Structure 1
Amino acid sequence: VLSLALLERTGDDELKQAAKRVSAKIAGAVPPPLRHALDANALHAWGFAAPSASAVDLALVRRAIRDEEKLDLSYRDEAGRNTKRIIRPVALIYYAETANIVAWCELRQAIRNFRSDRIEDCRLAGLWFKGEGDRLRQVWVDGWEINESAASA
């Protein structure tokens, strides 16, 4: 229930609606005393909600990850430079202030993180990377281990 409440903070309308549906199903399935506790809002996910990323539909990103379809982005880096990117999205990370798309960037030929609040435009590219998603997620995870090894040295 607390995890579902945290989804309210993502700024992602589709996830918010899904969380409400699941919460209603949970409330309908639990015994009356527990249902009363849920109705009393005894658990809270406090803090501000992330602003919605106006140029990117995160539901579209989640579908692209699931279907292994490339995305065509217009992206503004931290210095404000605009670039066009074709990416292979493999994960979506929700932070309090924004969501990040983890993807293989065809321009940089490496795993990169793309902040949703820096995306100017995002469209399905109509190109696929079928069967590569698991391998690319492993490349991403392997990068964590390299960074952890360097930090402990």
Structure 2
Amino acid sequence: MRKASRLFEIIQILRLARKPVTAATIAERLEVTVRSVYRDIAALQAMRVPIEGGRGIGYILRPGFDLPPLMFSIEEMEAIVLSLALLERTGDDELKQAAKRVGAKIAGAVPPPLRQTLDANALHAWGFAAPSASAVDLALVRRAIRDEEKLSLSYRDEAGRPTERIIRPVALIYYAETANIVAWCELRQAIRNFRSDRIEDCRPAGLWFKGEGDRLRQVWVDGWEINAAATVN
């Protein structure tokens, strides 16, 4: 986590806390060392963020300090609520936890009238969630897409035949029953879809395709548009 993100997260943790929060608790939440938390709090205090407390006591954010309120229309807030609810259906545990954190941050930052939209619990996304894939960590796949890192797959095709693939992942599509990894397959030399429920092992290959992600995504989109046009015709 970058320092700027950590500083923001520390402010959020302290702003939502009802009692002093120790550096150890913050470190556990952010998955950093206690020493890093001490340095970050010192940096925030140097920026005149009114954090009080100390080592062994815990820290609080003095009342009156807040981030600028987030301004949304009612319709925009409803779109956010429904979008966060839809993430519950992805089967991606990391995204589901992130959605809960986003909801908490927004609830703490928006003005009271808009907060009622979050609290009303009137919008729902119904349906079965995609099962969590046991052999593939979808968070790892998302990181590989962002970092443009190749993945090594042990995969079974539609006929059940085992195969080893090196892929360049460019997109992740969530369905009700599974998730599809859209990737350039180095074996087939083409864009292919890999169902998460057919993946027996997925690991970083230690190889990269830096600067190719956007181009490969465009290859995928162009192919999808051609297929869609052929279906219409």
Q: TM-score, normalised by structure 2?
A: 0.64
Unaligned runs of 5+ in 1: none
Higher share in strand: 1
Q: CA deviation at 1:76?
A: 1.0
Identity, in percent, stands at 92
Aligned residues: 153
CA deviation vs aligned residue, 1:104-136 (integer Å, no higher than 9, x gap):
001111000001111000000001111111110
CA deviation vs aligned residue, 1:79-107 (integer Å, no higher than 9, x gap):
11111000000000111111110000011
Q: CA deviation at 1:40?
A: 2.8
Q: CA deviation at 1:142?
A: 0.5
The structure whose Rg is larger is 2
Q: CA deviation at 1:56?
A: 0.4
1:42 aligns with 2:122: yes
Q: CA deviation at 1:75?
A: 0.5
| Corresponding residue number in structure 2 for 1:120 | 200
**Higher RCO, Cα 8 Å, sep 6+:** 1
Q: Which runs of 4+ in 1 moved over 6 A?
A: none
Q: CA deviation at 1:61?
A: 0.3
Unaligned runs of 5+ in 2: 1-80
Q: CA deviation at 1:22?
A: 0.6
Question: Which secondary structure does the structure 1 equivalent of 2:102 belong to?
Answer: helix
| Corresponding residue number in structure 2 for 1:60 | 140
CA deviation vs aligned residue, 1:43-94 (integer Å, no higher than 9, x gap):
1111111110100000100110111110000011121111100000000011
